[in-house]
Amino acid sequence: MTSVQTFNVALPALPSGWSAEKDFKAVGTLSGATQRNLEAVGPFFLAHARRKRHGRTFSEDERIQAQQNVKKTEEDDLGEISEPEDNMLLAREAKDWKSQDHYQVLGLTKYRWRATPEQIKRAHRKKVLRHHPDKKAALGDRDENDQFFKCIQKAHEVLSDPVKRRQFDSVDEAAEVEPPSKKEASKNFYKLWRKVFISEGRFSNIQPVPELGDENSTQEEVENFYNFWYNFDSWRTFEYLDEDVPDDNESRDQKRHVEKKNANARRKRKTEDTARLRHLVDDCAAGDERIKKFRKAARADKDKKRLEREAEAKRLLEEKEKARQEEEQRKKDAEEAAKAEREQNKKAKEAAKNAAKKNKRVLKGSVKDVNYFDDAPSAAQVDSVLADVDLVISKIDAEELAGLAGRLTAAGKDGAAVKAVYTEEVQRLVGAGKLKEGEAKFFA
Amino acid sequence: MSSETNGAAERFAIGISFGNSSSSIARLNPEGKAEVIANEEGDRQIPTALSYIDGEEYHGTQAKAQLIRNSQNTVAYFRDYLGKDFKSIDATPCHNSAHPQQHEDTVAFTIRDTTSETPSTVTVSEIATRHLRRLKQSASDYLGKEVNAAVITVPTDFNDAQREALIASANAAGLEVLQLIHEPVAAVLAYDARPEAVVTDKLTVVADLGGTRSDASVIACRGGMYTILATAHDYELGGATLDKIVIDHFAKEFIKKHKTDPRENARGLAKLKLEGEATKRALSLGTNATLSIESLTDGIDYGSTINRTRYELLSGKVFAQFTGLIEQVVKKAGLDVLDIDEVIFAGGTSHTPKIAQLARNIFSEKTAILAPSTFTAAINPSELAPRGAAIQASLIQEFDKEDIEQSIHPVVTATPHLQNAIGVEVTSGDAVDFKALLHVETALPARRLAQFAAPKEGGDVLIRVCEGAREIKVTKPEPKPKEEKTEADEDDSDFSDSDDEEEETREIVWKTEKPIAELAVKGVKAGSKVELMIHVDADLGLQITAREVGGQSAVRGAVEAPKA
């Protein structure tokens, strides 16, 4: 804001004859300006910088700043407290303060545990202004009843002391949010449970409390949420429900007894509360679709893996079997081939044997056919011829035998030719070193 | 200010004045008053010194005390070496401590800062980082919250390399440098942020008299915005010069008695320096001060006193140098001492009463001399810079980094300033007078509101807006020379003035130079007032509005910007 400079000097009177359109006359212009660097310091410079950067004029900038300031105060006013007071409330007796709803007395039921100390202070002030006994007297109210004022004072006493306020908040039933039934939760799970956990979260020593989230929350978020609630660290206490401890020295035993009873009751309530909360979280977890979803996903994942593994095993087994079968087949084939060959060999051998027999018969027959190279062969000659034939046969192999037999067959019944064939053969055998000279007596 | 709380809210900023001889830290307290923070030893002016013994770091006063026994491992007076190369530094202040050396392209010190026997070379940037880290730690301990940002004051002649080096050192110490501001401007801000201060247009001289150097600057304050018009520096003049006078005085006395010169012994000199400085400080407060040193030299204990008159006699020449610096800067700005509305004394040496008294004699009696000896409500001169920095820190700590950068960008800071004052012609008695609404060197765009009395009988009035020029009228002494006063300022006729033997009286006279516009406000009631608003654009165009206070109709008009 620009301050107004005030000059205590008079302006000159308008000279006669001065006139101008709209009473204004531009006479000249300003002489030049020097460029200098401003020091970037101080609130007025910052205002200048703001104007320059946003291209605002003085009045615009002032208006915008003023608007911002107004907005701030409005936001402050938003927390203004005004709730109707019913007659039941106004008729309360201060002595029943234990059962009184302090937030209701101060008109803060909208906020309850969320009310800031500042709000409580202002609410109290407002109530006091309205219900102060002096004010009532000034209004001509003859009624001496200041019970409600005392209630207000008591409420303020409790709520302005952080310890007492926690004690009251711990047992503030009006702030409790009942967990939804299964049927309700099935329709509107997140909305209903969220409220419950926000309400329960006020007891947490650890702030901020993780949110319930929604169906799109990640597994980590959900796990984090349930871990938090299963390990909930609560400051909830139950001192507020204590029985009054008699405050006279007379009955010390009685006092101790009550104190003990209170301590036990508190412990019991705390345990119950912990159990209740656990149960509540269990219920929520049981109805939580996300957990099921994640579990299903995990299972599907696992199944997938298992199936893959099984398929792989099966495949391996099959391959092995196949290999084994192939191997068997191969063996079998080889065996069969060997057998066939053996049989063939046998047959061939037999054939050869038969052939050899036949040829031997041819050999022996040939000498017989030519009547042992004599018309009336002597027994000795027959023997010597046969002995020689046998000798040839024993010294000769199958092929030569066949050849010899052929030649002998060709010689037929011609004794000389047969003898020549034999002689040639013996000579060949002698030449080949298979027969000694002179060993064959007849065919020498 | 703005209500952004994203990210920037985690900033916790303080103001730091990082001086060559001592540093200070400050922060705005919850009541909105800037408060200089004492370190763990209770010092508000923390000596800029670091000392090492067996790897242990000593800081501030403790380190300064080490100058006697452990001078080789004590680093002091290093601020001015930041960001400079070895060739351009003046190593004289470090005569008595670790000597600066060339190290690559910066300055470094060779000190034994670890437990090992071999000394290590530590650059001046690293030393500055360690110093700032200690300052940050002190502030964090005091405030109970981790400090992570700062506004740091620098002399007006700090160049870009020095600024960068300082910012780098601060960043290494874990401090985000929100802004570097000039020391004299911080001092003006510290005064202007007082709740009782009103924003006026004024010309201020800031005399920053430090430990090893002195600076003076002329600053135009126009509608709460500051423009430095001129600066002057004296790198040799400072508290150390005055210390030397005290030391020499005592040394001479000692020689007279004991026939040895304690200054020849390094340790003796260090002791004398330390105690001499304390004695000089005591002389700023009391008229007598003692000095006592055990085993000054050759095991002789020495004790003596000095009174202020003696001290002031001895230091006369040096004091004249200080005032000379102030006169020099006024001249450099092309101004006259009569133009100066305010002289702010900053820096530790400003505690010396005589300097402020001498300045009092230079300036006219309507000039306010803001020093402890001349102005009872003066702020401690040593605390001006940190306070100003703390105020600036509180103003910008919620801004985004980008916001700050944009705000201090030359596009924003470079602005046209008026060459001539703009004002209105008024009648005082019969004569026509000139009242300046916008003074010379007002940053544009600017807007001023003023109220004038209407003529007694009412009727139509003429407002003639024109440029004015001030002239210095010199009149030879008349029987009654001190009567004319042009400005309706508060009357503080100082009796000391009558002692001055001035031959002539000098005063400021305003003259209308060039008429700009004329307005007529008609039918003004008798005894009422006329309100005038002048708005000058950055291109020198004017919008003028005049109306009777409480009146309905207004006279409006615009004057076009001059053709370039």
Single out the residue in A128, A152, A173 at which a domain terminates.
Answer: A173
Domain of B213 in residue numbering reads as: 198-236+317-380
Is B164 domain-assigned?
Answer: yes
Reported as a pLDDT band with limits 50, 70 and 90, residue B491 is very low
DSSP string spanning A162-183?
HHHHHHHHHT-GGG--PPPPHH
- Please check whether residues A267 and A318 belong to one and the same domain: no
- Please check whether residues A160 and A185 belong to one and the same domain: no
In Å, how far are A245, B22, B430, B519 from B528, measured between CA atoms? 77, 56, 21, 17
State the Cα–Cα distance between residues B177 and A350, nearest whole angstrom. Answer: 116
- Please check whether residues B108 and B220 belong to one and the same domain: no
- Please check whether residues A274 and A232 belong to one and the same domain: yes
Reported as a pLDDT band with limits 50, 70 and 90, residue B496 is very low
Helix or strand holding residue B562 (H, E): none
- Please check whether residues A94 and A154 belong to one and the same domain: yes
Facing residue for B448 by CB, picked from A5, A6, A10:
A5
- Among B160, B412, B530, the strongest candidate for a mutation testing the A interface, having the largest count of A CBs within 10 A, is B412
Per-residue pLDDT reduced to its tens digit, B184-227? 999 999 999 888 888 888 999 999 998 889 999 999 998 889 99
3-class DSSP state of B508: strand
Is B324 domain-assigned?
Answer: yes
- Please check whether residues B270 and B289 belong to one and the same domain: yes
Q: Is the pLDDT of residue B498 over 70?
A: no
- Residue B234 Cα, gap to closest chain A Cα (Å): 22
Is A100 domain-assigned?
Answer: yes
Q: Is the pLDDT of residue B486 over 80?
A: no
- Please check whether residues B447 and B544 belong to one and the same domain: yes
- Residue A61 Cα, gap to closest chain B Cα (Å): 13
Mean pLDDT of B423-441: 80
Is A359 domain-assigned?
Answer: yes
Single out the residue in A129, A158, A173 at which a domain terminates.
Answer: A173
ipTM for the predicted complex comes to 0.82
- Please check whether residues A237 and A252 belong to one and the same domain: yes
Is A51 domain-assigned?
Answer: no
Q: Is the pLDDT of residue B9 over 50?
A: no
Least-confidence region, from B150-164, B342-356, B473-487: B473-487
Single out the residue in B271, B290, B313 at which a domain terminates.
Answer: B313
Domain of A425 in residue numbering reads as: 311-443
- Please check whether residues B363 and B218 belong to one and the same domain: yes
User: Which residue in chain A has the smallest CA separation from B424?
Assistant: A11
Facing residue for A2 by CB, picked from B189, B449, B536:
B449
- Please check whether residues B155 and B278 belong to one and the same domain: no
- Please check whether residues B93 and B164 belong to one and the same domain: yes
Task: Specify the CATH number for the domain of residue B261.
Answer: 3.90.640.10
- Please check whether residues B141 and B31 belong to one and the same domain: yes
- In terms of Cβ atoms closer than 10 Å to its own Cβ (0-12, 13-18, 19+), residue A437 is exposed
Helix or strand holding residue B345 (H, E): strand B342-346
Task: Specify the CATH number for the domain of residue A121.
Answer: 1.10.287.110
Single out the residue in A115, A148, A173 at which a domain terminates.
Answer: A173
Q: Is the pLDDT of residue B451 over 50?
A: yes
Is B481 domain-assigned?
Answer: no
- Please check whether residues B273 and B366 belong to one and the same domain: no
- Please check whether residues A112 and A156 belong to one and the same domain: yes
Reported as a pLDDT band with limits 50, 70 and 90, residue B175 is very high
- Please check whether residues A272 and A372 belong to one and the same domain: no
State the Cα–Cα distance between residues A40 and A328, nearest whole angstrom. Answer: 97
Partners of A217 in the beta sheet? none
Cβ of A234: how many Cβ atoms within 10 Å?
17
* A344, amino acid identity: Q
Task: Specify the CATH number for the domain of residue B106.
Answer: 3.30.420.40
Single out the residue in B313, B333, B362 at which a domain terminates.
Answer: B313
State the Cα–Cα distance between residues B305 and B295, nearest whole angstrom. Answer: 17
State the Cα–Cα distance between residues A69 and A71, nearest whole angstrom. Answer: 5
Is A37 domain-assigned?
Answer: no
- Please check whether residues A165 and A188 belong to one and the same domain: no
Reported as a pLDDT band with limits 50, 70 and 90, residue B2 is very low
Single out the residue in B313, B339, B354 at which a domain terminates.
Answer: B313
Q: Give the model's pLDDT for residue B490.
A: 46
- Please check whether residues A105 and A211 belong to one and the same domain: no
Facing residue for A4 by CB, picked from B185, B411, B449:
B449
Using a pLDDT cut of 90, give the percent of chain B over it: 42
- Please check whether residues B50 and B108 belong to one and the same domain: yes
Is A197 domain-assigned?
Answer: yes
Least-confidence region, from A188-197, B6-15, B145-154, B443-452: B6-15
DSSP string spanning B15-60?
EEEE-SSEEEEEEE-TTS-EEEEP-TTS-SSEESEEEEETTEEEET
Burial profile A178-217: b = 16 or more Cβ within 10 angstroms, e = fewer: ebbeeeebeeebbebbbebbebbbbbbeeeebbebeeeeb
- Among A6, A30, A44, A50, the strongest candidate for a mutation testing the B interface, having the largest count of B CBs within 10 A, is A30
Average pLDDT, chain B: 86
* CB–CB contacts below 8 A, A to B: 243
- Please check whether residues B27 and B144 belong to one and the same domain: yes
pLDDT tens, N- to C-terminus, chain A (444 residues):
456 778 777 777 777 777 777 778 787 788 778 888 888 888 888 888 888 888 888 888 888 888 887 766 655 554 455 677 777 888 888 888 888 888 888 888 888 888 888 888 888 888 888 888 887 777 776 667 788 888 899 999 999 998 989 889 888 888 888 888 888 877 888 888 888 888 888 888 888 888 888 888 888 888 888 888 888 888 888 888 888 877 776 778 888 888 899 999 999 999 999 999 899 889 888 888 888 888 899 999 999 999 999 999 999 999 999 999 999 999 999 999 999 999 999 998 898 888 878 887 877 777 777 777 777 777 887 888 788 778 877 777 777 777 877 887 887 777 777 788 878 878 887 887 777 776 777 776
Partners of B425 in the beta sheet? B434
Cis peptide before A43 (omega within 30 of 0): no
Is A433 domain-assigned?
Answer: yes
Reported as a pLDDT band with limits 50, 70 and 90, residue B429 is low
Beta carbons of A38 and B561 less than 8 Å apart: no
Number of independent structural domains in chain A = 3
User: Could you tell me whether strands A4-10 and B446-453 are parallel, antiparallel, or unpaired per DSSP bridges?
Assistant: parallel
Reported as a pLDDT band with limits 50, 70 and 90, residue B494 is very low
- Please check whether residues B438 and B553 belong to one and the same domain: yes
Spatial contact of B248 and B226, defined as CB atoms under 8 Å apart: no
- Residue A299 Cα, gap to closest chain B Cα (Å): 43
Q: Using a CB-CB distance cutoff of 8 angstroms, which residues of chain A are in contact with residue B461?
A: 11-14
Per-residue pLDDT reduced to its tens digit, B300-356? 899 999 999 999 999 999 999 999 999 999 999 999 888 899 999 999 999 999 999
Task: Specify the CATH number for the domain of residue A438.
Answer: 1.10.8.840
Facing residue for A39 by CB, picked from B228, B466, B522:
B228
Is B485 domain-assigned?
Answer: no
Beta carbons of A25 and B557 less than 8 Å apart: yes
Cβ of B375: how many Cβ atoms within 10 Å?
17
What's this model's pTM, rounded to 2 decimal places?
A: 0.63
Is B215 domain-assigned?
Answer: yes
A142: CB partners within 8 A, 6+ apart: none
Q: List helix spans (H) across B397-534.
A: 401-407, 410-413
3-class DSSP state of B413: helix
Q: Is the pLDDT of residue B97 over 60?
A: yes
DSSP string spanning B221-242?
EETTEEEEEEEEEESS-SHHHH
State the Cα–Cα distance between residues B66 and B273, nearest whole angstrom. Answer: 12
- Please check whether residues A396 and A321 belong to one and the same domain: yes
Reported as a pLDDT band with limits 50, 70 and 90, residue B248 is very high
Is B480 domain-assigned?
Answer: no
Between A73 and B27, the higher pLDDT residue: B27
- Residue B475 Cα, gap to closest chain A Cα (Å): 25
Facing residue for A29 by CB, picked from B229, B556, B559:
B559
Spatial contact of A129 and A136, defined as CB atoms under 8 Å apart: no
Q: Give the model's pLDDT for residue B311.
A: 94
Q: Give the model's pLDDT for residue B503.
A: 61
State the Cα–Cα distance between residues A219 and B310, nearest whole angstrom. Answer: 84
Partners of A4 in the beta sheet? B449
- Please check whether residues B443 and B519 belong to one and the same domain: yes
Please tell me what DSSP assigns to residue B97: S
- Please check whether residues A197 and A146 belong to one and the same domain: no
Reported as a pLDDT band with limits 50, 70 and 90, residue B8 is very low
3-class DSSP state of B12: coil
Q: Give the model's pLDDT for residue A141.
A: 67
State the Cα–Cα distance between residues A353 and A348, nearest whole angstrom. Answer: 8
Is A2 domain-assigned?
Answer: no
- Among A45, A54, A64, A74, the strongest candidate for a mutation testing the B interface, having the largest count of B CBs within 10 A, is A45
Reported as a pLDDT band with limits 50, 70 and 90, residue B5 is very low
Q: Give the model's pLDDT for residue A72.
A: 64
Q: Using a CB-CB distance cutoff of 8 angstroms, which residues of chain B are in contact with residue A7?
A: 426, 435, 450-453, 488
Number of independent structural domains in chain B = 4
- Please check whether residues A90 and A164 belong to one and the same domain: yes
